Amino acid sequence: MDPQRRAWLATAGAAALGAAAVNRPSLAALPEAATQGSPHTQPPLVPRDGRAYNPVVTLNGWTLPWRMRDGWKEFHLVAEPVEREIAPGMNARLWGYNGQSPGPTIEAVEGERVRIYVTNRLPEHTTIHWHGMLLPSGMDGVGGLTQPQIGAGKTFVYEFELKKSGTFMYHPHADEMTQMAMGMMGLFIVHPKDPRRYRVDRDFCFLINAYDIDPGSATPRIATMLDFNLWTWNSRAFPGIDHLPCRLGDRVRIRFGNLTMTNHPIHMHGYDFEVTCTDGGWVPKSARWPEVTIDVGVGQMRAFEFDAVNPGDWAFHCHKSHHTMNAMGHDVPTMIGADQRGLVERIQKLVPDYMVMGDRGMADMGAMEMPLPDNTLPMMTGQGPFGPLEMGGMFTVVKVRADQKPGDYSDPGWYRHPPGTQAREYAGALPEPPRAATPSADGDAGAAPLNVRKRGSHHG
């Protein structure tokens, strides 16, 4: 059994125990605050009480257990410093909820009344804003505007009825720049009252976040505005992001919210899909449009759906190519085509380990084993079945398999391509390719050599 599968089974057992402990009749005033130590995707938390629904699966995350009391669904969130493994080899010191960043996903059903206790174990005050929810103004969680701040060591209670189903999130509305840059956020999924409505076979969700953590350190720089160096999904970077296993023929939904400071064009290979939900609600069937890339703006949520009819390993990633990289300096010069002969020997007299990099592009980085400072990730990394993947950051794989069992989220391994369905090397003769004829002086200026200035270009 592969280690991920074993970790899966072990934590599935632990999650079931935790839920049982929470549901035990108790006179405690507060619901138990469950915590989760594993950074891996936990199996869906099937509801034992409250209204029935089809649970989501949080990528590299988990769902918060609850208890029912006098008709209220009660949750307990604890805001606290946490340690999060961004990917094997790198741990970050973040702030989050109940042992993790992002915090656990909250799941409930349209029409239910929720009571959410929030205990603050941070060194400064906080609040929680329920992004996208329709609720009384005093439950909106804006420190100073709709409530006093939740001081360090204090517990506040939020109570509201869930007016509509959809994809929402929660995050502080207190010292926001610091608290979101430190990882404080979570998903809040409200399921439809009728579980047959918007039903899918697999329902994945995650939050898009970003950190600026200097190599060798573990605490994010909170004042960074745009130039982050770790682009993450649920505070995980490739190759730390789990894969999304699907069964051939499944109807699949993937929901994501963006709590970074820039937009992310989220792209999936092998399929076209439909945008079916935003943080404003469900998109009516007549208004859905086909896409292969969905740009999600800052503070927005999107969900798309597709029928998993194409088996294979399908890349799923942000289309900003700097967001599929790990920690790197962005001020490196472009060396493509630079002739460094002679120079190297002269520099090596002063710096014996000096290496030439980037004169043939940057792909060498994917295979290079360079010494790294402690606690950082290679810029491009990850091994696939055919070699280095040369990726980092916001990248993972949707794996569609005929033999994936319903409800099984374990990793099926790499796809085995049927014979004749894979790109292959051509080993035949290569005739000289035909070239366009050199234009005359009055000819098509577009085909002129690069160093010839177009006539009249100074007028345009």
Binding site for Cu ion (CB under 5 A): 264, 318, 320, 323
* Residues 80/96, Cβ–Cβ less than 8 Å: yes
Alpha carbon separation from 277 to 161, 253, 257, 305, 407 (Å, rounded): 21, 10, 11, 9, 23
Q: Please identify, using beta-carbon distances, which residue of 130 and 206 lies nearer to Cu ion.
A: 206
What residues does 150 pair with on adjacent strands? Answer: 126
d(CA 83, CA 104): 14
Q: Please identify, using beta-carbon distances, which residue of 38 and 232 lies nearer to Cu ion.
A: 232
In angstroms, give the least distance from the CB of 363 to Cu ion: 21
In angstroms, give the least distance from the CB of 11 to Cu ion: 29
Q: Please identify, using beta-carbon distances, which residue of 302 and 401 lies nearer to Cu ion.
A: 302
Buried b (16+ CB within 10 A) or exposed e, 388-405: bbbbbbbbbbbbbbeebe
Q: Which stretch of DSSP H or E encloses residue 12?
A: helix 3-23
Q: Please identify, using beta-carbon distances, which residue of 288 and 320 lies nearer to Cu ion.
A: 320
Q: Please identify, using beta-carbon distances, which residue of 323 and 401 lies nearer to Cu ion.
A: 323
In angstroms, give the least distance from the CB of 65 to Cu ion: 32
In angstroms, give the least distance from the CB of 264 to Cu ion: 3
In angstroms, give the least distance from the CB of 166 to Cu ion: 23
Q: Please identify, using beta-carbon distances, which residue of 139 and 301 lies nearer to Cu ion.
A: 301
Q: Please identify, using beta-carbon distances, which residue of 190 and 394 lies nearer to Cu ion.
A: 394
Burial (Cβ within 10 Å: 0-12, 13-18, ≥19) of residue 55: middle
Decide: helix, strand or coil at residue 445: helix
In angstroms, give the least distance from the CB of 158 to Cu ion: 31
Instruction: Report strand pairing: 57-58 vs 244-247.
Output: unpaired
d(CA 378, CA 370): 9
Alpha carbon separation from 30 to 75, 103, 159, 161 (Å, rounded): 9, 18, 14, 19
Report the residue count for the chain: 460
In angstroms, give the least distance from the CB of 393 to Cu ion: 8
